[in-house]
Amino acid sequence: MTWRSARVVGLRDETATARTIALAVRDWPGHIAGQHVDVRLTAPDGYSAVRSYSIASGPNSDGRIEITVERLANGEVSPYLTTELMVGDDLELRGPIGGWFVWHRDQTEPIQLVAGGSGIVPLMAMIRSRALAGSSAPFRLLYSVREPGAVFYRDELWALSDRDHSVIVTYAYTRVTPKDSPRPPGRIDATLIATGTWPWNLNPTSYVCGPTSFVENATDLLIAVGHGRKNIRTERFGATGERK
């Protein structure tokens, strides 16, 4: 797998701490929704640092991909990508990587997506891939965020679920809810799983992505209401998310 040069062709703030970076990648071979790339930064003295980021965009043939990067307070790479990087800069990446946490456009079964925070990124690639492919696979997204201001891709998710009623989006706010929210803030629980996800007897495939404690909780709840563990795929990221 070779390192490719990639030019920053667009920057878009998703939230106060997260930014989407559009990249034109030389000889990009294409990707499947859910895959990630390795990004390499190199300092003038040759020191380099590499991190993996999920691809946010759906597969296309124009050699462009988007990643969305959340700034970590003590990060080495994410502060650079979210504050320093400018349109026209070049960086290096390789990929696409990963063959497990992916959605193929020929999958027709109901899909349950469960996102915790920036775990939305690879799941958004699946939602976008579905739209690009003209797929009619029924999609449902349960998206857990700290507060309304922390939602990524807000307008696009709204427009998609408004236009296409087979993409159903349910938000779960853990700290602060919007004024009209019927549910008090809190993490995903059995009630929300019962009302905000496909019933197990539709045999959905579930993709769960977020910090470890979020993924552990969400998958345990899905299994408790009857989902087969073989139909649940997970991707855990970042710091442990374990309470210290």
Partner 1 sequence: MAIISRGFAGRRSAAEAKLPPGQYLTSDFPVLSAGPTPHISLDRWEFTIDDGSNVLKRWDWKSFRELPTETITVDIHCVTRWSKLGTSWEGVSLDVLLADVKTDLSYAMFRSYGDYTTNLPMKDVINKQAWIAFKFDGADLAPEHGGPARLLVPHLYLWKSAKWVKGMTLMPHDKPGFWENLGYHIYGDPWLEQRYSDQ
**Residue 20 structure tokens:** 């989407």
In the bound complex, what is the minimum distance in angstroms from residue 189's beta carbon to partner 1? 17
**Residue 162 structure tokens:** 């408004």
Residue 113 within binding range of partner 1, rule CB under 8 A: no
Spell out, one character per residue from 17 to 56, where the chain touches partner 1: x when CB under 8 A holds, - when not: -----------------------xxxxx-xxxxxxx----
Residue 189 CA to residue 140 CA, distance in Å, equals: 17
In the bound complex, what is the minimum distance in angstroms from residue 59's beta carbon to partner 1? 17
Q: What is the 3-state secondary structure (H, E, C) of 126-185?
A: HHHHHHHHCCCCCEEEEEEECCHHHCCCHHHHHHHHHHCCCEEEEEEECCCCCCCCCCCC
In the bound complex, what is the minimum distance in angstroms from residue 200's beta carbon to partner 1? 13
**Residue 115 structure tokens:** 């996102």
When the beta carbons of 90 and 189 are compared against partner 1, the nearer one is: 90
Residue 183 within binding range of partner 1, rule CB under 8 A: no
Residue 180 within binding range of partner 1, rule CB under 8 A: no
When the beta carbons of 50 and 133 are compared against partner 1, the nearer one is: 50
**Residue 142 structure tokens:** 């349960």
Q: Among 59, 98, 110, 122, indicate the residue that binds partner 1 (CB under 8 A).
A: 98
When the beta carbons of 93 and 124 are compared against partner 1, the nearer one is: 93
In the bound complex, what is the minimum distance in angstroms from residue 52's beta carbon to partner 1? 6
Q: Which of 57, 197, 203 is nearest to 131 (CA)?
A: 57
Residue 78 CA to residue 72 CA, distance in Å, equals: 6
Q: Which of 205, 35, 59, 210 is nearest to 122 (CA)?
A: 35
**Residue 176 structure tokens:** 């602060």
Residue 204 within binding range of partner 1, rule CB under 8 A: no
Residue 8 within binding range of partner 1, rule CB under 8 A: no
Sheet containing 64-70: order of strands: 48-54, 36-42, 90-97, 4-13, 18-25, 64-70
Residue 32 CA to residue 102 CA, distance in Å, equals: 6
Residue pair 152/14 in contact (Cβ under 8 Å)? The answer is yes
User: Site for partner 1 (CB under 8 A): how many residues?
Assistant: 43
Residue 82 within binding range of partner 1, rule CB under 8 A: no
Q: Among 12, 26, 89, 108, indicate the residue that binds partner 1 (CB under 8 A).
A: 89
Name the site residues for partner 1 (rule: CB under 8 A). Answer: 1, 5, 40-44, 46-52, 76, 80, 84, 89-92, 97-101, 212, 216, 219-220, 222-223, 229-230, 232-234, 236-240, 242
